[in-house]
Amino acid sequence: MNAPTVSAPTRTEILSVEDLAVEFRTRSGIVRALERVSFRIRQGETLGIVGESGSGKSVTAFTVMGLLDRAGKVTTGQALFTTEAGKQVDLLTTPEKELRLLRGKELSMIFQNPRTALNPIRRVGKQIEDVLRCHSGLKGQALQERAIASLAQVRIPDPATRYAAYPYELSGGMCQRVMIALALACSPKLLIADEPTTGLDVTTQATVMNLIKDLAVQQNMAAVLITHDLALASEYCDRIIVMHAGHVVESASTHTLFTAPRHPYTARLIASTPEPHKTFADLLPIPGNLPDLRSATLPPCRFSGRCDRHTPECDQPPLPNTTVAPGHQVACWHPLE
């Protein structure tokens, strides 16, 4: 007798970003920071967003969180978030008052520099209590106990003592753990980690990333890891999107992206990444620089000026976004074979 077939549990789509475009008004002109950015992330999944500095990774995160600078403006697109109640809301059009009820509770962010993100004159335990007080309704002793438990959850030694510490009394790694405790205090459905290992030594980097990954699995939480470190993304992400100059140029599972990259920029990124078996002579730098995003004549493919596969066809809009395999999209006229 054959055993019954057990189907894999359906994972809810937590965030769907479609055709997002953002521009910044500056004294020297309008910067077209994002254009046609689209991606999706499901419950329990870790999505990596990679690319060199200036590619638009952090701008994407801040836009989704509703923390865009005043000079920034969303010109097109939507960011549909599925709430705990099962309702879909567009984070780009949700009023600020309603967005504040979601931030910290259902969607949270770990900022790139914890020392500037934390209040320097407020004890770290009290900062965690601020989040809990706003979203959990806890008071008094129960509030303090929950804050200490949050510090213990991120494996901070002697959390009851650290609860009363100021950020300047803690190391960089400890401050980053406090940031994680703040972000996870209310068990959010979506966590965005923006370069969470910047400035940390290799050992502390591994500890912080293992912590984020373990907690994401335990809480069945969707997580977005923003990084320029491809080795980090390859180890901790299920899927990866590659950004260049405000465009998503490739999207695929982590294994597929690293074993069979199809966009020339992705291949160049991988070739320029140090590995234990590579020497400096083996590394292939990416030629040229990012295009000036203030230009009124930006080409459809913003990598065309740096690409050795460029042809006149690449300058003809619109730039195609081709599905080359299931779950693998490439925005290129001449993808690699």
Pair 107, 223 in one domain? yes
Pair 77, 224 in one domain? yes
Q: Is residue 84 part of a domain?
A: yes
Res. 1: pLDDT tops 70 = no
154 vs 47 pLDDT, higher one: 47
Res. 201: pLDDT tops 60 = yes
Please list the alpha-helical segments (H only) found in the chain: 57-65, 96-102, 114-117, 124-135, 140-153, 159-162, 172-184, 202-218, 230-236, 254-259, 264-271
Q: Mean pLDDT for the chain?
A: 90
Residue 197 pLDDT: 83
Q: Is residue 130 part of a domain?
A: yes
Calpha distance 81→102 (Å, rounded): 10
Res. 82: pLDDT tops 50 = yes
Pair 30, 93 in one domain? yes
Where is the domain boundary, 237, 272, 301?
Answer: 237
Pair 130, 194 in one domain? yes
119-146 tens-digit pLDDT: 999 999 999 999 999 898 888 899 999 9
Residue 257 pLDDT: 96
Pair 17, 127 in one domain? yes
Q: Is residue 250 part of a domain?
A: no
Q: Which of 22-36, 196-210, 322-336 has the lowest mean pLDDT?
A: 196-210
Reported confidence tier of residue 6, pLDDT bands at 50, 70, 90: very low
Residue 8 pLDDT: 45
Where is the domain boundary, 237, 271, 302?
Answer: 237
Pair 229, 286 in one domain? no
Q: Is residue 322 part of a domain?
A: yes
Res. 332: pLDDT tops 80 = yes
Pair 195, 273 in one domain? no
Reported confidence tier of residue 244, pLDDT bands at 50, 70, 90: very high
Pair 219, 114 in one domain? yes
Counting the structural domains of the chain, the total is 2
Q: Is residue 62 part of a domain?
A: yes
Res. 259: pLDDT tops 60 = yes
Give me the domain span that covers residue 190.
13-237
61 vs 116 pLDDT, higher one: 61
Calpha distance 227→207 (Å, rounded): 16
Reported confidence tier of residue 202, pLDDT bands at 50, 70, 90: confident
Reported confidence tier of residue 282, pLDDT bands at 50, 70, 90: confident
Distance (Å) of CA 96 to CA 67, 194, 247: 10, 22, 27
Pair 329, 198 in one domain? no
242 vs 214 pLDDT, higher one: 242
Res. 2: pLDDT tops 60 = no
Res. 5: pLDDT tops 60 = no
Q: Is residue 26 part of a domain?
A: yes
Percent share of the chain, pLDDT over 70: 97
Pair 186, 272 in one domain? no
Strand order in the sheet with 222-227: 107-110, 190-194, 222-227, 46-50, 239-244, 247-253, 328-330, 322-325
Q: Is residue 3 part of a domain?
A: no
Residue 286 pLDDT: 87
Calpha distance 265→209 (Å, rounded): 26
Percent share of the chain, pLDDT over 90: 66
141-189 tens-digit pLDDT: 999 999 999 999 888 999 999 999 999 999 988 998 999 999 989 989 9
Pair 42, 99 in one domain? yes
Q: For the domain that residue 205 is a member of, what is the CATH number? A: 3.40.50.300
92-104 tens-digit pLDDT: 999 999 999 999 9
Q: Can you tell me the mean pLDDT for 289-317?
A: 91
Q: Is residue 160 part of a domain?
A: yes
Residue 7 pLDDT: 44
Pair 304, 210 in one domain? no
Res. 216: pLDDT tops 90 = no
Res. 191: pLDDT tops 90 = yes
Calpha distance 210→216 (Å, rounded): 10
Residue 311 pLDDT: 92
